[in-house]
């Protein structure tokens, strides 16, 4: 849905002198609709997903990505108690919620084909995040949006996204899906954790740490293709392959499935760039810096997707990763690029506070 809208005060002929607030919507060059302001919610594009489901029954990741509309093109997201967190708001949550916000402002026939984001400030998990969408352009086939995520008046994250209507065109795929075990042959995160607790090849100190660490299951099921007996103290190649799918059934909306893929892309991918540098006693501070995705083909994020990650380089405390997501048929669905900051920790004299 796209139209020109303006806000006017009307004195209706034949009625009282009362002034009515109304929205005037240009439908065509010749006709317009005058809608009383109290019904302005009708002008909002139909909410993507969660239309028939209540928040209690939807899948955990759909719940995390849920946004409350505040006004036209402004939404509020929160950090749920069980959402993945890394001391501050998880980058994937910001990307997923921001993509949801921009998707809600676009004609539902157009779906996101690329997004580019910067993480500007660490987000506070205890306060809501306001997403303000800017409509940069609405073309016939494409639409472009910008969204800022705001806390306490500060922009903590910004994302640009472009949307396109489906159209027929040339096709090729030169990258084959690597040969990996099927998800059924691999251990779940929960099984992997159990196995690590008793694996005699792992140092006892590491096993104790795993046993005492608070374990909150992620809303995404992950199965690593090459579970190795390495720990975060052991060097390994700068690459990673895993199958993932959302836990539970997602609403049937391509926009949601792309938001879930974006959420997942930030979960463990950029950590691959740290693999060759791991060593006993090394304490690092890590943060995602930016995040770009190209969505080539439709994706079902509640069915198994293979994520293949490789870090070609790390320099200047920045680790760089590229990623590709394939469906089980071997079709390339998404290409992904990200940089993360990884610094050897310098002990601080006093506790750090949020910069917000
Ligand atoms: C191989 C790579 C793998 C990389 C592996 C990466 C894995 C990523 C895992 C992803 C997990 C996430 O989701 S992370 C969540 C999403 N990302 C974010 O939230 C990042 C948001 N962005 C930011 O916070 C900011 O833009 C920054 C910090 C990146 C840049 O801001 P800045 O203002 O230029 O900051 P900067 O001066 O560099 O430093 C910030 C504070 O850190 C202190 N500081 C500086 N160096 C150190 C240090 N070594 N140890 C301790 N503290 C330090 C500074 O004194 C300063 O404290 P003081 O003076 O302020 O007191």
Beta strands in the chain (DSSP E): 4-11, 19-26, 32-36, 68-71, 74-77, 110-119, 129-138, 142-151, 154-165, 220-224, 239-246, 284-295, 305-315, 318-326, 332-344
Return the ligand 1 atom nearest residue 277 CA: 1
Mean pLDDT of 234-244: 93
pLDDT at 163 over 80: yes
Q: What's the 288 CA to ligand 1 centre distance in angstroms?
A: 9
Q: Is 33 exposed, middle or buried (0-12, 13-18, 19+ CB in 10 A)?
A: middle
Looking at the chain, list the stretches that DSSP marks H as alpha helix, in order from N- to C-terminal side: 60-64, 91-103, 189-198, 204-212, 254-265
Among 64, 86, 97, 119, residue to substitute to test ligand 1 (most atoms within 8 Å of Cβ): 119
pLDDT confidence of 34, banded at 50, 70, 90?
Answer: confident
pLDDT of residue 2: 41
| pLDDT, greater one: 10 or 80 | 80
Closest by CA to 114, choosing from 252, 221, 264, 261, is: 261
Report d(CA 260, CA 270) in Å as an integer.
17
Q: What's the 337 CA to ligand 1 centre distance in angstroms?
A: 19
Residues with CB under 6 A from ligand 1: 86, 88, 90-91, 119-122, 266, 270-271, 273-274, 285-289, 314, 319, 340-346, 352, 355
Global ipTM: 0.93
Q: Which of 3-12, 27-36, 80-89, 195-204 has the lowest mean pLDDT?
A: 3-12
Return the ligand 1 atom nearest residue 156 CA: 21
Mean pLDDT of 274-283: 88
Return the ligand 1 atom nearest residue 92 CA: 13
Q: What's the 93 CA to ligand 1 centre distance in angstroms?
A: 18
pTM of the model: 0.84
Walk me through the domains of the chain, giving residue ranges and CATH numbers: 1-34 (no CATH), 42-165 (3.10.129.10), 188-344 (3.10.129.10)
pLDDT at 38 over 90: no
pLDDT in tens, 102-113: 999 999 899 999
Beta strands in 98-168 (DSSP E): 110-119, 129-138, 142-151, 154-165
* Catalytic residue list: 266, 288, 338
């Amino acid at each position: 849905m796209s139209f020109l809208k303006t806000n006017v005060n009307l004195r209706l002929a034949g009625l009282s002198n009362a002034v009515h607030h109304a929205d005037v919507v240009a439908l065509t060059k010749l006709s317009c609709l005058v809608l009383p302001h109290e019904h302005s919610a009708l002008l909002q594009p139909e909410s993507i997903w969660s239309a028939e489901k209540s928040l209690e029954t939807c899948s955990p990741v759909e719940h995390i990505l849920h946004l409350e509309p505040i006004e036209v093109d402004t939404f509020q997201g929160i950090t749920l108690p069980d959402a993945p967190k890394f001391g501050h708001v998880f980058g994937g949550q910001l990307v997923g919620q921001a993509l949801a916000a921009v998707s809600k402002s676009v004609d539902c026939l157009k779906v996101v084909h690329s997004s580019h984001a910067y993480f500007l400030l660490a987000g506070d998990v205890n306060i809501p995040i306001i997403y303000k969408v800017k409509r940069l352009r609405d073309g016939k086939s494409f639409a472009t949006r910008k969204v800022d995520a705001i806390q306490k008046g500060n922009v903590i994250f910004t994302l640009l996204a472009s949307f396109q209507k489906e159209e027929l065109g040339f096709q090729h795929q030169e990258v084959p899906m690597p040969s990996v075990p099927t998800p059924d042959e691999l251990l779940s995160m929960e099984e992997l954790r159990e196995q690590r607790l008793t694996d005699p090849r792992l140092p006892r100190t590491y096993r104790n740490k795993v046993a005492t660490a608070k374990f909150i299951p992620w809303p995404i099921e992950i199965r690593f293709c090459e579970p190795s007996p390495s720990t975060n103290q052991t060097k390994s190649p700068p690459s990673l392959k895993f199958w993932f799918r959302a836990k539970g059934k997602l609403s049937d909306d391509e926009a949601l499935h792309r938001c879930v893929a974006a959420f997942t892309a930030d979960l463990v991918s950029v950590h691959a760039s740290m693999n060759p540098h791991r060593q006993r006693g090394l304490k690092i501070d890590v943060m995602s810096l930016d995040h770009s995705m190209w969505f080539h083909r439709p994706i079902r994020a509640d069915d198994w997707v293979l994520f293949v990650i490789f870090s070609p380089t790390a320099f200047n405390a920045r680790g760089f990763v590229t990623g590709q997501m394939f469906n089980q048929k071997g079709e390339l669905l998404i290409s992904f690029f990200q940089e993360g900051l990884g610094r050897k920790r310098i002990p601080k004299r006093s506790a750090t506070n949020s910069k917000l």
